[in-house]
A and B are shown apart, each in its own frame.
Chain A
Amino acid sequence: MEIEVKDLCVSIQGKKILEHASLSMKSDEITVLMGPNGSGKTTLGMAIMGYPGLAIDSGEILVDGKSILGMGPDERAKLGIFMQFQEPIEIEGVNLENFIFAAKTAQSKVSARQIEEDIEKAIKILDLKEEMLKKDVNVGFSGGEKKKVEIMQMLVLKPKFAILDEPDSGLDVDTLKKVAEAINMYEKESHAGILLITHYTRILSYINPTKVYVMDKGKIVASGGRELAEKIEREGYGFIEG
């Protein structure tokens, strides 16, 4: 799968958030999107996933050459796009296991046994407790558990392209390592494309990016390889203003 964001301008209630943002990503690659707080990184991820609260003023989002702008988030998910959220919402009364079953069966025809096996495997990889499956989705989960549960959903839903929005924020070293291992393993096994959104470089100690983009004030202001992330590690984001 190849995703191209072309000259994208996005606003929220009249306020411009993205201005002529362009980048391309594809399967088997880990693309990292970095930038200071409020630079528009999450908005870009939400725009690709189809959040209805955003106004697409101009530009295109193409998947394998075809526009997805007219598609709802559920249709984009069925194409194979997945988003891990920074702050996933709580769903009272719906247990996690049922939610994953509902999501998986909405996307593809797969046996209940297969879903159970995939859930079991994901739980082991992420070192999650099995009892969590019986709890309401994200209700009472710690910050680390929420991140892990989001990654667990990715492992079970098996998307072709995953947008991971700050999977590293607020995690202790051990949890960060587990989450990074799961992302690496998934990328290698499934050959999926990954867009990793972060403003810290510490997750890059465990994940090797193919490309790095830097965003500031809604624009892509720099692109390169791992060396760009290393520069940010050394110098911070000050250089992008120069």
Chain B
Amino acid sequence: MLEWLGDFGELEKERGELYKRHGRPIPIRFEDKSSGREKGTSKDYDIVAFSSEHASSVESEGMSIASDAEIIRLTEDVSNPLTISIEDGKEVTMNIALIFDSSLPSKIKIRLGKHASLDIYETFSSNFSSDGILSQEMELDESSKLNLVALHKEPANANYALLSLVHSGKNAEARLTNVFAGGNKLHHSTIGVVEDGGSIASSTVAVAGSSQIIDLSSLLVNEGRNSSIESLTRAVVKDNSECLVKELAKVRQSAEEASTYIEEKGLLLNDGASFVPMPDMAVDTNNVANASHSSAVFPLGKKSIFYIMSRGVSEGNARQLFATGFLEKLLTGKFGSEKGKIMLEEAEASLNSKLRS
């Protein structure tokens, strides 16, 4: 058991209070089970992890797996999770495919030793549109660096819940980028704790369409001195979809000179779409470097579309131009390595495909 999770119960209570204050508009329900296959994924992975109620081996159509890829079956035994452990001082870059064909809960642990560095690119998919539940624990030891980019492209009728727990130790840096370009009902909760001099920089990019519900919530805690938290969310919402973002930043009394910033922005492509930002803060110290939040909802108006169309661009392309431009800000600079560049292309293609659908 991680030591920092000793406080987990209290954090959960605080999150409960946040819900009490704002209400919980979306019950976590997973239904609409039906089959459907996703095709066209073609990439080499270092690890392919799958959870399946249907098969005992990976049978992901169209997926090319490098010969040296480690193939792991995720089990419902959360006390025995898939663990990625990077030793002190080591630098590693890896691609992971996570295939969820089971509604049973799965767990992944990422541990970075002192001064270790990990660039990890995760692609979430499903072959059978199952509902999925995954928790991902990230523990960063002193002065380590994690750059995690997760691309979610589950089929349009898949429902899933994700829990990310991040502990950024002394002077450690966690950069988390989540791109949501698939699924139906989706709930993503993040709990992050930062120690002295450490940081968490989280970027979330989402496209919600076809009456989809995306429910994002975070509890981000500055625990140590000079710790830093930044959480940026941008969502493009269309059709009759809803995206809700509830975030609470908490600066503890011990977190002197800490900084925390939350930004939640949504672009509505049509009248039926809805984006509800709910940033919140609780600062327990008088000596804080920065504690601020901002939120905005931009409905895409007739005049904006008209402006682009008056230059000869079709209505569909005009909407797409706005949407990709809006999201691009958060994608820039997050995909440094060669594997990252491939991932960026894939993320952009997935987002564009969802915007066009």
Contact = CB atoms under 8 A, between A and B. Distances in A.
B325 A73 contact: no
B309 A72 contact: yes
A107 B322 CA distance: 19
A53 B325 contact: no
Given A51-B306, A52-B302, A91 B322 contact: yes
Interface of A: 49-53, 72-74, 76-78, 82-83, 85, 88-89, 91-94, 99, 102-103, 106-107, 136, 153, 157
If over half of B's interface residues share one DSSP class (helix, strand or loop), that class is named, otherwise mixed; here it is helix
Nearest to B267: A92
A74 B309 contact: yes
Contacts of B324: 93-94
B35 interface: no
B143 to A, nearest CB: 34
B326 interface: yes
Closest 9 CB pairs of A and B: A93-B325, A103-B311, A77-B312, A107-B312, A94-B325, A73-B309, A106-B312, A93-B328, A74-B309
Interface size class of B (residues with CB under 8 A): 20 to 34
Interface of B: 302-304, 306-315, 317-318, 321-322, 324-329
Given A88-B307, A89-B307, A74 B325 contact: no
A53 B321 contact: no
A73 B304 CA distance: 12
Given A72-B309, A82-B310, A106-B317, A89 B325 contact: no
B309 A77 contact: yes
Contacts of A93: 324-329
Contact of A53 (B302, B308, B310): B302
Contacts of A94: 321-322, 324-325
21 contacts: A50-B309, A51-B303, A51-B306, A52-B306, A53-B303, A74-B312, A78-B312, A91-B304, A91-B322, A93-B325, A93-B328, A93-B329, A94-B321, A99-B321, A102-B317, A102-B321, A103-B311, A106-B311, A107-B312, A153-B311, A157-B311
Contact of B310 (A77, A91, A92, A136): A77
Given A49-B306, A72-B315, 17 more contacts: A50-B310, A51-B306, A52-B302, A53-B303, A73-B310, A74-B312, A77-B311, A85-B307, A91-B308, A91-B321, A93-B327, A94-B322, A99-B321, A102-B313, A102-B321, A107-B311, A157-B311
A92 B326 contact: yes
